Structures are given as C-alpha cells and as structure tokens.
Amino acid sequence: MDFTVDTATAAVEASFDATPDPRLREILQSLTRHLHGFVRETSPSIEEWNSAIEFLTDVGKTCTDTRQEFILLSDVMGVSMLVETINGQDVGTESTVLGPFHMTESPARELGESIDLLGGGRACVVSGTVRSTAGTPLANALVDVWQCTEDGFYDVQQPHVQPEGNGRGLFRTDEQGRFWFRTVVPSHYPIPTDGPVGRLLQATSRHPYRPAHVHFIAAADGYEEVTTHAFVAGSAYIDSDAVFAVKKGLLVDFVETDDTVLAAEFGVEPPFIHARFDIELQEKETL
C-alpha cells in the first residue's frame, strides 16, 4: 500500500504485530500512534525535525557516568513525576522523583549522628517515625537521606569543598520505629543548566530551581519502598518546582525551637531548628 499521511500510522503499527512480547508490542504500537499524532498536529518542517534530532543527540552526548541528561529531560517534562505517581503507593507517604544525586551510597550512621560534616551551620534536627499504613511502628526500617548544603550544593558537585558523604546518611529505625539525625536546613538550588536541558529551559523562559528539600528512601521488610522528599514549607520555588515534584502532603515545617527537653533528647543546644517527617509504608501484597 502507498505510504500516505492517512495510511502511515496503521502501516507502522502493523509492522509490530508479530512482536512476541505482548507488552512490548502494546508499548510500541501506542508510541507509534502518539508520535504520529504529535507529528500530524505540529506538522514540523524538515529543518525543525532535524533540530529536534540534534537536540536529542546532544542530550545523549551530555550523558556520562555522573550526568544523566535524559533523566533530567524526563524530569523537566514532568514525565518522571507522572511515572512515579502512577507507580507510587495509593495510601501512605506519597512518592517523588529520585533525582540524579543519589549516585553514591549513603554512609551508615547511628541515630542522632550529624550528616553535616562541614559544621558551622544553623543546627537542625530531622526526626520521625516509620509506620505501616495501619499505624504499626516499623523497627529496623532503613531510612536513606541525602540533601544539599545551606548554599545549595550536593557533595558530589563540590568534591574539593565538601567531604565525601556530606549531607548523606543511612539510618536504621529504633524499636519504636523512630529515626532522627542532625543536619543543616537545605537551600533551594538550580538543576544542572549547562547542557541541552538548560538551553530548553532558557528558550522557554522557565527557571531551573527546585525548592529546598531533604531526599528520603524508606524501606522495611514486607513493605513497599518509598522514594520521597520532605520539602521545606515556605521555601522559594515551592509553587514552581522545575521538576514538578511537590505534593502538599510532603510539606514540612522547619521550626526554630528553644525547647530544652527536646534539645536534650536530640543532644543539641537550644535554640535549634526541628523538622518532623513521619513516613508510612504500605504492606506488600502477597500473591
């Protein structure tokens, strides 16, 4: 049959009919329909299509062992959050993007230890309890945290300034499911803008900033793992995250307190900043 604008989609869809894996077949045929629909709707010139291909080529060339520009593209297009939200647990703590800075293993730390290896910042304690969605505290749960400094940089972005593992910690909850650690209040910061994704943001008058947050991955045997953030309520860019990751339920007040009992419990001098972030995990379905 002649290839025409009207027959193109059916022809390409049919070319995948014999794909043995039914899920792969479904995905490729759906991709064909949507991709062709996009091309029909926008009717790109050959020049425009070539620049789209050049852009994607550039995205690929920017990727290295420590830089994943395709993930960044997926992030700024809101696709990472869409996939995360579709796959996230329907009850309990909501999930958000993993982001590109969980690239090194967090060092195991004792409860109460500081993840701020630089010192000198405003003392802050983050504490919480990991529970099942039925309310049972989960002892021995893993709580992996990572965050940037008060200046908005992760350790891996400043290898000559920050010690390795700064802003990172892997904690185990106590018998009552509790975790707590000392840190500094993270800052908002820009996602990497020195590549094609940065050019895309600039060409579309979009800013590159993420509101201040602490990353978490919480895991316990028999429960769904959750990748999420505690967002600093009131942070700059809280209403316009460059990667669309903010959810209302993840806003956390970082409050200055001079409560001496709380300070003694956490082993800090008052006044200090306290943030409470409880995490709820959904039980895994047993088949």
Residues within the interface to Fe ion (CB under 5 A): 99
Backbone angles phi, psi at 88, to 5 degrees: -70, 165
Token duo for residue 237: 């860019």
List the Cα angle 205/206/210 in 5-degree steps.
Answer: 155
Nearer to ligand BEZ, 75 or 116 (CB): 75
For the bound state, the minimum distance from the C-beta of residue 52 to Fe ion, rounded and expressed in Å, comes to: 29
**Closest chain position to ligand BEZ (CB):** 99
Instruction: Find out whether 59 and 197 touch, Cβ atoms under 8 Å.
Output: yes
Residues engaged in binding ligand BEZ (CB under 6 A): 72, 75, 97, 99-101, 191, 210, 243
C-alpha to C-alpha distance for 12 and 6, rounded to whole angstroms: 12
Beta bridge partners of 252: 232
Min CB(191)–Fe ion separation in Å: 9
Q: Which is nearer to Fe ion, 99 or 208 (CB)?
A: 99
Element (H, E) at 33: helix 22-42
* CB nearer to ligand BEZ: pick between 173 and 187: 187
- Write down the least CB distance from residue 173 to ligand BEZ, Å: 23
Query: Which residue minimizes CB distance to Fe ion?
Result: 99
Q: Among residues 81 and 138, whose Cβ is nearest to Fe ion?
A: 81
Query: Shortest Cβ distance from residue 164 to ligand BEZ (Å)?
Result: 17
- How remote is the C-alpha of 162 from its chain's centroid? 22
